[in-house]
Structure 1
Amino acid sequence: MTLLEAMFLVLLPPTLCKTHIAECTASDPLPILHKYYQEGGAIIGSIGSHIYLPSEIMSFKDQPNFTSYSIPFVLTKNYQHILALVFAVTEINANHQLLSNITLGFNIYESYYNARWTYHATMELLSTKNRFIPNYRCDIQNNLIAVVGGLEPETSFYMATMLGIYNIPQMAPNEAHQYLGIVQLLLHFEWTWVGIITVDDDNGERFVRTLIPEFSLSGICFAFVEKIPQVTYLELHIADVLMKGRRVYEIIRTSQTNVLVCFGDTESIAKLRSWMYLPHYIEYTATEPKGEVWIMSAQMDFTSYFFQRSWNRQVFHGALSLAIHTNELLGFQRFLQSRNPIRSKDDGFIWDFWEQAFLCQFSDSLLGKKFDDNCTGEEKLDNLPRDVFEMSMTGHSYSIYNAVYVVAHALHAMYPSLDKHRRLSSGKRQKPPEQQPWQLHYFLRSVSFNNNAGETVSFDPNGELVTVFDIINWVAFPNQSFRKVKVGRIDAKAAPCQAFSINEDAITWHSRFNQALPTSLCSDYCPPGFSKRRREGEPFCCYDRNPCPEGKISNQKNMDDCVTCSLEFYSNANQTLCIPKVITFLSYEEPLGISLVIVTVSFSLTTAFVLATFMEHRDTPIVKANNRNLTYTLLTSLLLCFLSSLLFIGRPGEVTCLLRQTVFGIIFSGAISCVLAKTITVVLAFVATKPGSRIKKWVGKRLAHSLVLSCSLIQGGICAVWLATSPPFPDLDMNSKTEEIIVECNEASPTMFYCVLGYLGFLAMVSFKVAFLARKLPDSFNEAKFITFSMLMFCSVWLSFVPTYLSTKGKSMVAVEIFSILASAGGLLACIFFPKCYMILLMPELSKREHFIRRKT
């Protein structure tokens, strides 16, 4: 067989010869067509199994029963559809309880996948038998009730254009559910980069327009969209068709996608097999197909013309297809086994089917010598490969069977009193009451019954047949045998969680994938912790990976953008998880808190001990010097300063936040005021001893007490304004530290806080200056020198406190302030009182008045 012949045969529509329109002729047109092609002619049209040359087209419209060159190549697998119709009608007519006095008949009309012949056949339905006069019927026995549409939606559409005028019920499948089923299948296996191959007609365009938006909404994009050319009316040269097939083959072979979604008709597989077989005919650098996962629509089935029987089936090994749900009918296989050309003389299809199914020829065949073997008629259908003929009922045959029964049950409901008309008249059934096809609509909607297989057949509220799709896995074996395995189910009417089910373990994938789950992605998965970044000018499935920034995560793969963690959480190192932040504050249980408490208690006890020592030795000159009461006040203030640091430890509350800074500010102001009063007292005392000094009247306890009180009241006033206008309050700082929520006291008004610190600094600077000036005044117990050192330390601590405080966060900030309080108060205690304690406790003789008089003398 030449390449031209092989390709031409594939491009013909599937049909069965010996239809009601024309019979196959004995002439073989291939040599004529080959010669015509070589002379530069073009094939104008093909209708059914017949090919018409330009000179023959004109006579076609006037002569339906024409004789022309024909190529009776048959898709033998479609023969089961006819047998399913016959089987259903036979069962119904034998069941007198269903239709007791009505005999169902049927006519089979060939549409030839051609609009013109579809309209012609539809008008014949509306005419008297054997008289083509549309809208004129005088045959009372052939009463048209319903029409079962063709397998292709366009065929049903052409028929509905005519039949809709007469409201004749026509049963056609709804494709919407299988579109969603294909999307669900792709999403289940996470196949987001697919190629689309569809028939080149309105139905294919509708498929693309419907499915591609669904793909986009589901995150699926396509690498290419290619069309299978239709050749009902072929306006291309055969060479153009070959080039189309070669180009599609190259696209499939070189594409990165591993999944091909194919939407076609019953002969599309035959065409695709020819395209995949091109390297065996054309010498070019193409290699064998790399192996893909084919996703087939419900209209498609694995079929073969007789000349494709020996071709390798491995290219479609592992394919997944949707198929109308089917089940085995009781007695159907026995009915199929009973068919043979010898016992089925009234079957006008079986002879052509038999010859091309078994590759043999009857002695009186009209085809001429095409096969070497002779047909005996005793060949067994069970021995045929499944791509030639199936003994198990296919989804299309199952639909035809159920459609016939739907009509029968609707008729049964239409005539509830059929039992009254069982009487026979002159050996014939009594004519039932006259009915019109439009009357059947109401009863069709309410039909619900269990068929021979025990499954319920019914219509939904929209008048559509409740359809379930099976997911079929095509398995091709090296010995050229072939089988289909049911691996899943799509039920659009079931609950959402049960609408889609599939058994992955039952699927056999193409050998290229080594039985591992295939992947089909334009870009590798974007793992958690990354987000997708679109590539400019490429489909949205093609992207680069961007790591999530700090504070954002992606906890799923292929996320379009990273998600920001809420304020109570932070992202882990891999940016895949939001972890709850730890609530932190300077507590009494942690080591830092315990250490500060110990230091505070130690300083407090030390201060208390110094105060007790001074009170015990209150009559000594060293204690009485520089205002004894002022000394007691200073020590008490220092004791309270140490204890005030405890307000900064523990979880901040409303009361502690109000008292924390204000108590610290007022107490420290009192302490610094005492130091300032001591220093001023020393200066005034020295000045007052000069002859004629008027300062003498200012020297005394009243001045010191007034100074301490007034300085403390000023700080108290500042704190009162602070509390009245913007009081501190407990707050949660979620931003300063990544992994922590800091429980803190919000100062509310930083200005007031720094006013408190500024006032303390002012008092300290004044005290330092006065003490510095008075450090060399002649006095037996002059404290100015010690106060100078203490104020120098105090100012150093608080000057370093400000930048350190501002540069830390959380418990460290609190610890810095506590340290500053303890250090500054401890400095005052050590510099002013430790030398005196040394003299009182260790050198008591040095603290006596006689010692200082002796030194002076």
Structure 2
Amino acid sequence: MPEPERCAGSIDSRELRFSSAMIFAIEEINNSTKLLPGIKLGYQIHDSCTSVPVAVHVAFQLLNGPEPAHYNKGNCSHSGGVVAIIGESGSTPSISMSRIIGSFNIPLVSHFATCACLSDKQQHPTFFRTIPSDQFQADALAKLVKHFGWTWIGAFHSDTDYGKNGMASFLKAAKKEGICVEYTESFHRAHPRSRIQKVAEVIRRSTATVIVAFAASAELRLLLEELSQKPSPPRQWIGSEAWVTNQDMLQFKFCAGAIGFGIQQSVIPGLRKFLLDLSPSNVAASIVLTELWEDLFNCKLRKSTDKRVCDGSEDIRTLQSQYTDTSQLRITNMVYKAVYAIAHALHNTLCSYTNSTTNCDQSMTIEAKQVLTQLKKVNFTQNGYDVSFDVNGDPVAKYELVNWQRGESGTIELVAVGLYDASLPEGQEFHIHRNITWMDGSTQVPVSVCSNSCSPGTRRMLQKGKPICCYDCIQCPEGEISNITDSPDCVPCPEEFWPNTQRDTCLPKPVEYLSFHEVLGIILAAFSVGGACLAIGTAAVFFRHRNSPIVRANNSELSFLLLFSLTLCFLCSLTFIGAPSQWSCMLRHTAFSITFVLCISCVLGKTIVVLMAFRATLPGSNVMKWFGPPQQRITVVSFTSIQVLICALWLVLSPPFPKKNLTIYKKRIILECALGSAIGFWAVLGYIGLLAVFCLVLAVLARKLPDNFNEAKFITFSMLIFCAVWITFIPAYVSSPGKFTVAVEIFAILASSFGLILCIFAPKCFVIVLKPEKNTRKYLMGKN
């Protein structure tokens, strides 16, 4: 048979303080007149030596009931078994104990076992704890890392149930917060040193500045001792409660600046006095206290060859140790609350209230199941600390944010810098009320990212084969923006907006149209007005010399009508300039088409008159009676009416309308007039072209007629120019972008109008104004 495991090594004075706090609380309850009056609590204390087999052995001992040696002269009212257990400090031993005693309905109330797995009531139905679950701590650590902007971290944990489950919960919470973990390493204190060296080397080579350590003090102490052998780059340590509030760990000064969560500090009145009340007789009677005393004063209570004998002058009040230090009571208060929780469960089982008097049944036999039932319901306040359990046996999660800060003497001190309350709304859990000192004593928050943040205007592009926190920043494509830091995607701007140069804001696209305020618009408007003035001036010259032979010979009525229509042609081009509106779009096309038809109708009438006039000179011809002034007027009105009808149908069925063209240019909007019906537009142009070609053919037929009376040559030239302009207009109109489409249309109107007025009227005005001697009937008839 293997030998039973025995405790080895030195005493853990912190754990001794926990057991002393339990004794203190029990004695406080036994002296109380309000809680369990008349009933004394008994107890047994066992040392598990942080060993699972020893803890399991102790669990079976407690289940079998106390040995006779534990009775104190028959002072106990009954010799029942254990009805509740406080412990264990570690999660792994607590798991083993809980699985054993759970079948017997004995509640196990732990002060320091934080593994989230213990909240599973299917496996651990009788487990309670006064310290929050690691699930809360894991979530809090992930939010802490996110709070300071760290997205690239390393992780270390103990190779135990506590470390594995705690780290698993943390990694899950970290992934939810968008945090990437460069590495996750672990070992157990029983592993060979080579394993510890390997973990230390990974930490030295890593690029992550921040390390989250979800570990027990024993494992982390071994790791830090190894790291201290060979200095590594500065690291920002983030710690779990198990080690970050342990005073013994403060010896590692290169970890100054470490932060983590600890149970809130507390005050237990009278505890320090109780701890220091150690008489020599009390010490000598206890093997544990004897070992503590001899370790503290480096002497032996009995004669020894290697150490001096204690002379009785030793005073524990003069020493500062983990046992006597009550300045940072955290887990000790959890022990204190656990004792009181069990006491209240017993009180609610044994006692009743009658006429404001508490009566307790001292003879009643207590079953563990009764205590378990009442323990689920406890809700009280002791020394200002609330105690209650949820359905999983967990308390409300509240932590202090603690920081390792270097004091004036150079020693590392544990300083509370903030609070975390899991019961508060999302995003309001943290409250930092004091400056934090970071690694190397810096006051600036260290940076720990795989890739620098992508500024607005860029987006993240993941690096192949690397975690999501490692990325390159690429500029948003054309037409898209990102207005937040580290944007995963760029978003397109709305249809009428375009990104600025930095591509972090969408700005309204500039609206473009041919305006009276730009150079091109001013030039075209000037030519338009100038052409109208030229036509009016020509009409004035003709009117003044209306009785002269050259004016009378050239059909003065049609000439004045032609000049009037040319004036309208010049002026209608002004409707194409300026911001398009519903009325301007309808006006510009209809005015242009009708005035041009009127103009060509007049030219056509003049051409027909010339042809018919020479045919009338033939003997026996009576044709001129069909082409007199009334017939000429009817011809002009008829041709123009057809165009008016086409325009009317166009406006009724599908009129032109203002439109924002977003397709020609990406960065600006072209405000233009949509045709409405393309058939209507090309119908009016086709009708104008048909009349122009007909007029050109007649002018060509009449160009060789004799005498100076013949103006068919000038009409031919004007029609050639007119047709050439409008033939070239079609491809130019179709291919011109934006406002230049309008400019091409105006240019065609002005060019054809100037061609008509200059070819037909310029020679006549020249004779009237500069060569009046030729303005005679004889000259016109060619008889001079």
TM-score > 0.5 by shorter chain: yes
- Residue in 1 aligned with 2:562? 634
- Residue in 1 aligned with 2:232? 289
- Residue in 2 aligned with 1:59? 3
**Which of 403, 415, 425 lines up with 1:473 in the alignment?**
403
1:76/1:793 CA distance change after superposition, 3 Å: farther
Tell me if structure 1 keeps the 8 A contact 2:142–2:174: yes
Counterparts of 1:351 and 1:300, CA distance in 2: 27
Counterparts of 1:733 and 1:355, CA distance in 2: 94
2:118 paired with 1:159: no
Counterparts of 1:674 and 1:586, CA distance in 2: 31
Unaligned segments of structure 1, at least 5 residues: 1-56, 61-65, 280-286
Counterparts of 2:195 and 2:309, CA distance in 1: 34
2:316 paired with 1:316: no
1:370/1:811 CA distance change after superposition, 3 Å: farther
Counterparts of 1:529 and 1:181, CA distance in 2: 33
With 328-337 and 514-523 compared, the bigger mean Cα shift is at 328-337
Counterparts of 1:829 and 1:131, CA distance in 2: 136
- Residue in 2 aligned with 1:14? none
2:468 paired with 1:509: no
Counterparts of 1:154 and 1:610, CA distance in 2: 112
2:362 paired with 1:431: yes
**Residue type of the alignment partner of 2:570:** F
Tell me if structure 2 keeps the 8 A contact 1:662–1:719: yes
2:202 paired with 1:251: yes
Tell me if structure 2 keeps the 8 A contact 1:87–1:332: yes
Q: CA deviation at 1:569?
A: 1.9
**Which of 196, 200, 215 lines up with 1:264 in the alignment?**
215
Counterparts of 1:300 and 1:683, CA distance in 2: 117
After superposition, give the CA deviation of every residue in 1:582-608 in whole Å (9 maximum; x if it has no partner): 344445666765665555444444434
Q: CA deviation at 1:772?
A: 4.9
2:338 paired with 1:403: yes
Which aligned pairs between 1:156-195 and structure 2 lie closer than 5 A? 156-169=94-107, 170-172=127-129, 173-195=132-154
With 551-560 and 96-105 compared, the bigger mean Cα shift is at 96-105
- Residue in 1 aligned with 2:112? none
Counterparts of 2:392 and 2:183, CA distance in 1: 35
Counterparts of 1:114 and 1:569, CA distance in 2: 70
Instruction: Specify the SS of the correspondent of 1:647.
Output: helix
Instruction: Specify the SS of the correspondent of 1:544.
Output: strand
Counterparts of 2:553 and 2:693, CA distance in 1: 24
- Residue in 2 aligned with 1:46? none
1:706/1:435 CA distance change after superposition, 3 Å: farther
**Residue type of the alignment partner of 1:273:** L
Tell me if structure 1 keeps the 8 A contact 2:65–2:81: no
- Residue in 2 aligned with 1:100? 37
After superposition, give the CA deviation of every residue in 1:443-495 in whole Å (9 maximum; x if it has no partner): 5455444332x344444566531121222112246966221122222211112
Counterparts of 1:375 and 1:709, CA distance in 2: 139
Counterparts of 1:469 and 1:544, CA distance in 2: 37
2:415 paired with 1:485: yes
1:421/1:676 CA distance change after superposition, 3 Å: closer
Instruction: Specify the SS of the correspondent of 2:507.
Output: strand
- Residue in 1 aligned with 2:124? none
- Residue in 2 aligned with 1:119? 56
2:426 paired with 1:496: yes
**Residue type of the alignment partner of 2:262:** A
Counterparts of 1:615 and 1:665, CA distance in 2: 27
**Which of 102, 105, 110 lines up with 2:47 in the alignment?**
110
Q: CA deviation at 1:844?
A: 4.9
Q: CA deviation at 1:211?
A: 3.1
Tell me if structure 2 keeps the 8 A contact 1:193–1:257: yes
- Residue in 1 aligned with 2:181? 222
Counterparts of 1:826 and 1:141, CA distance in 2: 128
Counterparts of 2:480 and 2:658, CA distance in 1: 28
Tell me if structure 1 keeps the 8 A contact 2:174–2:180: yes
Identity of aligned residues (%): 36
Which aligned pairs between 1:381-400 and structure 2 lie closer than 5 A? 383-384=320-321, 390-400=325-335
1:296/1:380 CA distance change after superposition, 3 Å: same
Counterparts of 2:55 and 2:607, CA distance in 1: 121
Instruction: Specify the SS of the correspondent of 2:498.
Output: strand
Q: CA deviation at 1:691?
A: 5.0
Counterparts of 2:320 and 2:145, CA distance in 1: 35
1:399/1:825 CA distance change after superposition, 3 Å: farther
Tell me if structure 2 keeps the 8 A contact 1:149–1:155: no
Counterparts of 2:447 and 2:170, CA distance in 1: 21
Which aligned pairs between 1:553-702 and structure 2 lie closer than 5 A? 553-586=481-514, 597=525, 599-690=527-618, 699-701=627-629
Tell me if structure 1 keeps the 8 A contact 2:158–2:188: yes
Q: TM-score, normalised by structure 2?
A: 0.85
2:14 paired with 1:88: no
Counterparts of 2:31 and 2:725, CA distance in 1: 112
1:622/1:539 CA distance change after superposition, 3 Å: same
Tell me if structure 1 keeps the 8 A contact 2:152–2:450: yes
1:389/1:812 CA distance change after superposition, 3 Å: farther
1:592/1:353 CA distance change after superposition, 3 Å: farther
Q: CA deviation at 1:781?
A: 4.3
1:843/1:125 CA distance change after superposition, 3 Å: farther
Tell me if structure 2 keeps the 8 A contact 1:689–1:696: no
Counterparts of 2:495 and 2:401, CA distance in 1: 47
- Residue in 2 aligned with 1:326? 265
After superposition, give the CA deviation of every residue in 1:377-403 in whole Å (9 maximum; x if it has no partner): 41447634x7x9743234322322223
Which aligned pairs between 1:709-724 and structure 2 lie closer than 5 A? 709-716=637-644, 718-720=646-648, 722-723=650-651
1:392/1:696 CA distance change after superposition, 3 Å: same
- Residue in 2 aligned with 1:794? 722
1:742/1:149 CA distance change after superposition, 3 Å: farther
- Residue in 2 aligned with 1:299? 242
Q: Give RMSD over aligned pairs.
A: 3.8
**Residue type of the alignment partner of 2:469:** C
Instruction: Specify the SS of the correspondent of 1:397.
Output: helix
Q: CA deviation at 1:196?
A: 1.2
Counterparts of 2:449 and 2:712, CA distance in 1: 85
How many pairs does the alignment contain? Answer: 758
Counterparts of 1:703 and 1:220, CA distance in 2: 93
Q: CA deviation at 1:330?
A: 3.8
Counterparts of 1:132 and 1:777, CA distance in 2: 152
Tell me if structure 1 keeps the 8 A contact 2:244–2:259: no
After superposition, give the CA deviation of every residue in 1:719-749 in whole Å (9 maximum; x if it has no partner): 4554455433332233444443343322244
Instruction: Specify the SS of the correspondent of 1:403.
Output: helix
1:459/1:324 CA distance change after superposition, 3 Å: same
Tell me if structure 1 keeps the 8 A contact 2:300–2:309: no
Counterparts of 2:358 and 2:489, CA distance in 1: 78
After superposition, give the CA deviation of every residue in 1:194-251 in whole Å (9 maximum; x if it has no partner): 11111223443333443334333322111111112253xxxx6xxxx21111111111
Tell me if structure 1 keeps the 8 A contact 2:56–2:93: no
2:462 paired with 1:534: yes
Q: CA deviation at 1:96?
A: 1.8
Unaligned segments of structure 2, at least 5 residues: 71-75, 108-126
After superposition, give the CA deviation of every residue in 1:507-565 in whole Å (9 maximum; x if it has no partner): 11111x74322111112222222212222212221122211111111222222221211
1:748/1:421 CA distance change after superposition, 3 Å: closer
1:728/1:397 CA distance change after superposition, 3 Å: farther
Tell me if structure 1 keeps the 8 A contact 2:146–2:177: yes
